């Protein structure tokens, strides 16, 4: 009987130890889960806070509400990998004292845009965005040339008339192989712009390949303050009125309206719209310009990834529709200038003369009459 009681006590003791052990293990698992969850929640909150704070300015450029950006992060993506790399860089990078959170964050956003392999989809940080806005305002310091990617090469789209690049002999279509000796192979456009621009009275050397020329050539160009008046006019002695549009910038719509009023006053026998080496700019300005010839209908169609289309229609001004018009284009005519020239051709409002235009693919420059 005593043996049976001792045996029963041993069994009960073992059960108690098992229950206590299981409880402790459960508590440990719960603690680990809670700790991990708290850590991940903190990291995710960090993503949300950083995202909301740092990209809010994008709404000023795009018009989209970015405050909810962190709420739509894909659940299928393991963002722990992102934060592991982030923490590894800040902890283990040889010059970790020089690591800046904003630089890491903006760099990751640039990489996100670059992953699309689309030269016209880029992310601008606030400094780059200001530089871009300065371009559209028509005032900056540099060499006065629009550059872009063509066939994966940094290419001169158009040197602006009278500016340092044009004075040095650069031409539309020139390929920039190096900037101050630094190869442009694999270089993004925004990085090339940073290297080319600089304070007035400093210089930059571009190594240029030009089709049909056997030897590459170095061009040393002195930077200057670039102030671009985007529209210039001339009433020629032969009765033709020339409107030269160098870009579709902040001042273009107002200056072009002044040109139209001057045309109506002087009543020339014909118009020449010169869009050579015009790299483009604001879409709404292009639509307004084309509307001076096109009475009604779509100036340009925008096609979205889901197959839907959106048309940008003429505003019906059509003050120049009675004038015979010739449009001059070349390989430096891009974007908005292609939209205008394409619309005027398709509506048979003008004759195009010159060379094949740049061929920017962001928005189709073809239009369809209603």
pLDDT range class, residue 272, cuts 50, 70, 90: very high
Q: 111 and 175 share a domain?
A: no
Residue of higher predicted confidence among 16 and 240: 240
Q: CA-to-CA distance for 125 and 293, rounded, in angstroms?
A: 38
Last residue of a domain, one of 115, 137, 159: 137
Average pLDDT over residues 206-214: 95
Boundary residue ending a domain (178, 199, 227): 227
Q: Find the domain containing 288 and state its range.
A: 231-354
- pLDDT tens digits for 175-194? 999 999 999 999 988 899 98
| Structure confidence at residue 137 (pLDDT) | 65
DSSP alpha helices (H): ranges in 70-125? 79-92, 101-114
> Does one domain contain both 125 and 145?
no
Shared domain for 345 and 237, answered yes or no, is: yes
Same domain? 195 vs 289: no
What is the number of structural domains in the chain?
3
The CATH number linked to 207 is 2.30.42.10
The pLDDT of residue 135 is 67
pLDDT at 68: 53
pLDDT tens readout for residues 230-256 = 999 999 999 999 999 988 998 999 999
Q: Which two tokens stand for residue 311?
A: 């048309």
* C-alpha span between 29 and 179 (Å, rounded): 58
Indicate the pTM of the whole model.
0.55
Q: What is the pLDDT of residues 125-157, one digit of tens each?
A: 887 777 777 666 667 789 999 898 888 899 998
Confidence of residue 72 (pLDDT cuts 50, 70, 90): low
Residue 122 domain-assigned? yes
pLDDT of 48 strictly over 80: no
Higher pLDDT, 7 or 344: 344
- Label residue 6 by pLDDT band (50, 70, 90): very low
- Is residue 235 located within the same domain as residue 346? yes
Q: What is the pLDDT of residues 318-337, one digit of tens each?
A: 999 999 999 999 988 999 99
Residue 186 lies in a domain: yes
* Same structural domain, 246 and 306: yes
Question: Residue 148's pLDDT is what?
Answer: 87
Distances (CA, A) of 149 to 121, 140, 152, 299: 12, 21, 5, 26
Q: Based on the domain organization, do 302 and 289 belong to the same domain?
A: yes
Residues 251 and 321 in one domain: yes
Residues 6 or more apart in contact with residue 310 via CB below 8 angstroms: 301, 302, 304
Q: 339 or 126: whose pLDDT is higher?
A: 339
Is residue 364 assigned to a domain? Answer: no
Q: Are residues 57 and 132 in the same domain?
A: yes
**HSE of 25, CA atoms in CB hemisphere, 13 A:** 6
pLDDT at 4 over 60: no
**Residue 136: predicted pLDDT:** 65
Answer with the one of 198, 227, 256 that is the final residue of a domain: 227
Residues 245 and 312 grouped into a single domain = yes
23: in domain:
no
Residues 78 and 101 in one domain: yes
- Mean pLDDT of the residues in the chain: 81
**Which CATH number goes with the domain that contains 346?**
3.90.226.10
Please enumerate in sequence order all residues whose Cβ is within 8 A of that of 206, keeping only pairs 6 or more positions apart, or say none.
170, 176, 178, 179, 196, 218, 219, 221
Positions annotated as catalytic residues are: 335, 346, 360
144 and 132 in a single domain? The answer is: no
| Residue 63, in any domain of the structure | yes
* Of residues 33 and 184, more confidently modeled: 184
Residue 369 lies in a domain: no
Q: Which helix (H) or strand (E) holds 154?
A: strand 153-159
- Secondary structure letter of residue 94 according to DSSP: T
6 domain residue, yes or no: no
Report yes or no on 10 lying in a domain.
Answer: no
């Amino acid at each position: 009987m005593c043996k049976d009681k001792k045996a029963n006590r041993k069994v009960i003791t073992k059960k108690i130890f098992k229950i206590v052990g299981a409880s402790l293990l459960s508590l440990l698992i719960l603690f680990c889960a809670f700790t991990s969850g708290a850590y991940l929640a903190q990291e995710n909150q960090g993503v949300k806070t950083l995202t909301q704070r740092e990209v809010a300015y994008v709404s000023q450029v795009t018009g989209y509400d970015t405050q909810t950006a962190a709420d739509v992060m894909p659940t299928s993506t393991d963002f722990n990998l992102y934060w592991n790399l982030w923490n590894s860089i800040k902890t283990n990078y040889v010059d970790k004292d020089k690591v800046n959170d904003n630089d890491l964050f903006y760099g990751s956003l640039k990489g996100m845009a670059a992953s699309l392999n689309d030269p016209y989809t880029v992310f601008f940080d606030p400094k780059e965005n200001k530089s871009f806005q300065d371009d559209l305002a028509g005032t900056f310091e540099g060499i006065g040339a629009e550059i872009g990617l063509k066939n994966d090469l940094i290419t001169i789209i158009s040197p602006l008339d009278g500016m340092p690049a044009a004075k040095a002999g650069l031409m539309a279509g020139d390929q920039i192989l190096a900037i101050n000796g630094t190869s442009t192979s694999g270089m993004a456009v925004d990085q090339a712009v940073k290297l080319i621009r600089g304070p007035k009275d400093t210089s930059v050397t571009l190594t240029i390949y030009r089709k049909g020329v056997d030897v590459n050539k170095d061009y040393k160009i002195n930077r200057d303050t670039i102030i671009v008046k985007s529209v210039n006019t001339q009433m020629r002695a032969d009765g033709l009125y020339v409107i030269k549009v160098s870009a579709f910038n902040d001042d273009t719509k107002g200056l072009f309206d002044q040109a139209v009023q001057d045309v109506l006053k002087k009543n020339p026998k014909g118009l020449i719209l010169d869009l050579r080496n015009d790299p483009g700019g604001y879409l709404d300005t292009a639509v307004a310009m084309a509307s001076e010839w096109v009475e009604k209908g779509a100036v340009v169609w925008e096609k979205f990834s889901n197959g839907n289309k959106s048309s940008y229609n003429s505003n019906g001004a059509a003050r120049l529709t009675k004038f015979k018009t010739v449009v001059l284009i070349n390989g430096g005519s891009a974007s908005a200038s292609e939209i205008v020239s394409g619309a005027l051709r398709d509506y048979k409002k003008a004759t195009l003369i010159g060379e094949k235009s740049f061929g920017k693919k962001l928005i189709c420059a073809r239009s369809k009459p209603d």
